């Protein structure tokens, strides 16, 4: 029999896995914003079984090694890799980083000659994490939870690239892009929140019917009148 703490973590992991399985079978329109919509807050965060910073509900991935250091990844990236790494490398196999582009992630620091990363995209101590490109909260309507709008299917990915590599963009990066940031609660979202229809209260008293117009008494409503 598993210890109580281990059993709670296992139950949380399996509930998240089941939610993602159900999501994968749902119509594309139902998951237009991404898989985290169905996982919910408790899929990543916890109040009582915290596993690290930001109240993470899952442990960091200790198995997938950073090829630069030959050590496990650190920071928030290590928690992302609990789900987004191959199963044989400590992950759950969901949209794994092995299917990712060759872009670096999980960097302790950024070479300013290579990329001018806005400070709000860097993690603690100037780390370049998964969250530097992705804002993985369900309020983000962008494709793959990107920090900027890259088009419905990612066809405008250069909008993300020019945030950190403006000198390499056409026209010297003169385009302005709006960054989505749910991390700072003092700022309003760069996009309007999705409308949620109000829930009806089955116990509420229905509104009275609209009054009928008074009948005319001067004969003007008589169809036989010339």
Domains held by the chain: number: 1
With respect to residue 171, please indicate whether it lies within any of the assigned structural domains: no
With respect to residue 2, please indicate whether it lies within any of the assigned structural domains: yes
Q: What is the domain range of residue 18?
A: 1-58
Highest-scoring range by mean pLDDT, 44-58, 111-125, 203-217: 111-125
With respect to residue 178, please indicate whether it lies within any of the assigned structural domains: no
Q: Burial of 211 by CB count in 10 Å (0-12 exposed, 13-18 middle, 19+ buried)? A: exposed
Q: What pLDDT does 177 receive?
A: 79
Residue scoring higher pLDDT (190 or 127): 127
Q: How confident is the model at residue 221 (pLDDT cuts 50, 70, 90)?
A: low
pLDDT tens, position by position, 137-189: 988 999 999 999 999 999 999 999 999 998 887 766 566 778 899 887 876 54
Q: What pLDDT does 213 receive?
A: 56
Q: Are 123 and 129 in contact (CB under 8 A)?
A: yes
Helix, strand or coil, per DSSP, at residue 134: strand
Highest-scoring range by mean pLDDT, 23-32, 42-51, 67-76: 67-76
Q: What pLDDT does 178 receive?
A: 85
Q: Are 144 and 32 in contact (CB under 8 A)?
A: no
With respect to residue 32, please indicate whether it lies within any of the assigned structural domains: yes
With respect to residue 16, please indicate whether it lies within any of the assigned structural domains: yes
Q: pLDDT > 70: what percent of the chain?
A: 62
**Average pLDDT of the residues in 10-36:** 45
Q: What pLDDT does 224 receive?
A: 53
Q: Are 137 and 36 in contact (CB under 8 A)?
A: yes
With respect to residue 4, please indicate whether it lies within any of the assigned structural domains: yes
pLDDT tens, position by position, 202-216: 555 555 665 665 555
With respect to residue 52, please indicate whether it lies within any of the assigned structural domains: yes
Compute φ and ψ for 130, nearest 5 degrees.
-55, -35
With respect to residue 18, please indicate whether it lies within any of the assigned structural domains: yes
Q: For residue 226, is pLDDT > 60?
A: no
């Amino acid at each position: 029999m598993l210890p109580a703490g281990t059993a709670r973590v296992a139950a949380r992991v399996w509930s998240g896995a089941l939610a993602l399985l159900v999501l994968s079978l749902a119509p594309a329109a139902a998951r237009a914003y991404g898989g985290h919509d169905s996982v919910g807050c408790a899929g990543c965060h916890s109040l009582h079984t915290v596993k690290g910073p930001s109240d993470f509900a899952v442990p960091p991935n200790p198995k997938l090694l950073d090829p630069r250091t030959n050590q496990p990844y650190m920071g928030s990236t290590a928690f992302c890799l609990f789900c987004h790494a191959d199963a044989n490398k400590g992950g759950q196999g969901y949209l794994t980083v092995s299917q990712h582009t060759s872009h670096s992630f999980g960097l302790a620091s950024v070479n300013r000659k290579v990329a001018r990363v806005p400070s709000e995209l860097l993690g603690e101590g100037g780390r370049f994490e998964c969250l530097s490109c992705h804002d993985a909260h369900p309020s983000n309507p962008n494709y793959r939870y990107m920090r900027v709008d890259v088009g419905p299917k990612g066809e405008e990915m250069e909008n993300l690239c020019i945030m950190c590599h403006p000198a390499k963009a056409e026209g010297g990066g003169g385009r302005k892009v709006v960054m989505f940031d749910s991390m700072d609660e003092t700022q309003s979202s760069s996009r309007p929140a999705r409308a949620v229809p109000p829930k009806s209260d089955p116990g509420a008293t229905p509104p009275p019917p609209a009054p009928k117009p008074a009948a005319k008494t001067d004969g003007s409503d008589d169809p036989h009148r010339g």
